[in-house]
Amino acid sequence: MSRRLTLAAAQLGPIQRAEGREVAVGRMVRLMETAHRRGAEVVVYPELALTTFFPRWYEEDLAAADYWFESAMPSDATAPLFAAARKFGIGFHLGFAERTPEGRRFNTAIYVHPSGEVVLKYRKVHLPGHAEYAPDRRVQHLEKRYFEVGDLGFPVVRAPVGGTEVNIGMLICNDRRWPEAWRVLGLQQVELVMLGYNTPSLNMENRGFEAHHLRVFHSHLSVQAGCYQNACFAAAVAKAGTEDGHELFGHSIIVNPQGEIMAQATSWHDELIVADCDLAMCALGRSTIFNFSAHRRPEAYERITAQVGSVVPPVWSPCGSGRDS
């Protein structure tokens, strides 16, 4: 039986700080309607899709940042998205800031079945940036202040997406740069990775030169390599354009298990891209070069989980130099 999936990535243009959730949700519903018209069965939205990318703003008092967080899903503000999913029969992936009933805060993504049921939840593991105000930075990136490290691992679940069952997993933004994260998904036979991001067009750390064009290159390189090395599809979906004077680079993509870009956004606005994914493609890589059970050598990978930082290697010196090698 053919396993095909029509997959949509709904890039969002900028959301300004002063704009309420109803503005973003209205735009997202319109994108979902377009996705429906174009035959999509699932639509993927960006990281922290409901508001501006707020970790660029410092709040001394954490409670003052609660405005940016969702303590219910759905809520009055997000209910139209769930209603549209039901109406159009489309599943959707949503990134948002989550505040739990216990007051814990996470950078979270969910996959929602058209019925409105949450099928899968993921909480971002690789939080970039810093926890305290950094006066040397051009723009703050306070994810480490506002979020805890995700506590759900990298879950994969097999669930109905459109007319077929698909092994779905998620990454959020900075996670895409970490091959370990992709591999944990690959080890669970993930077929579709849903991934939202907010990435500034410039490196904001103020520590050395990075050419502008490399920002997009590194993003695509990471996603394409992750898909190829784990034989899966991905929708990597950006928030794009200039939010309150701060530019995010967009360039959302859908990638196949060969690492090829199947569709790419070309604007920095709300834009829907769609690809027809033949899930049977996942079997090729998985049964040949990346046949994990035949070729992986975990006994040689001990450092990957035993060590966090890198270590200085031993220094080689020529025989007879009188020094230890």
Query: Which member of 11, 52, 140, 198 binds ligand CDV (CB under 6 A)?
Result: 198
Measured from the CB atom, is 207 or 303 closer to ligand CDV?
207
Cα separation, 107 vs 125, whole angstroms: 9
CB of 298 to ligand CDV, least distance (A): 27
- Pick the closest to residue 148 from 100, 111, 182 (CA basis): 100
3-state SS of 79-129 is HHHHHHHHHHCCEEEEEEEEECCCCCEEEEEEEECCCCCEEEEEECCCCCC
Measured from the CB atom, is 88 or 249 closer to ligand CDV?
249
Answer yes or no whether residue 222 interacts with ligand CDV by CB under 6 A. Answer: no
Measured from the CB atom, is 108 or 198 closer to ligand CDV?
198
Of the listed pieces 1-9, 35-43, 196-204, 292-300, which binds ligand CDV according to CB under 6 A? 196-204
8 Å CB contact between 208 and 189: no
Token pair of 186, please?
Answer: 């690959």
In the 8-state DSSP scheme, what is residue 176? G
Cα separation, 155 vs 170, whole angstroms: 8
47 is catalytic: yes
Among the listed residues 47, 70, 98, 243, the single catalytic one is 47
Q: Tokens 């898909």 belong to which residue? A: 227
Among the listed residues 124, 227, 239, 243, the single catalytic one is 124
CB of 177 to ligand CDV, least distance (A): 6
3-state SS of 25-77 is HHHHHHHHHHHHHCCCCEEECCCCCCCCCHHHCCCCCHHHHHHHCECCCCCCC
Site for ligand CDV in 298-317 (CB under 6 A): none
Answer yes or no whether residue 128 interacts with ligand CDV by CB under 6 A. Answer: yes
Site for ligand CDV in 23-62 (CB under 6 A): 47
Cis (ω within 30 of 0) for the bond into 74? Answer: yes
173 is catalytic: yes
Cα separation, 92 vs 108, whole angstroms: 14
282 is catalytic: no
Site string for ligand CDV, 156-195 (x = CB under 6 A): -----------------xx--x------------------
Query: Which member of 56, 113, 141, 220 binds ligand CDV (CB under 6 A)?
Result: 141
Query: Which member of 197, 233, 249, 268 binds ligand CDV (CB under 6 A)?
Result: 197
Among the listed residues 41, 70, 121, 173, the single catalytic one is 173
CB of 129 to ligand CDV, least distance (A): 6
8 Å CB contact between 124 and 147: yes
- Residues found near ligand CDV in the complex (CB under 6 A): 47, 128, 141, 173-174, 177, 197-199
The catalytic site residues sit at 47, 124, 173
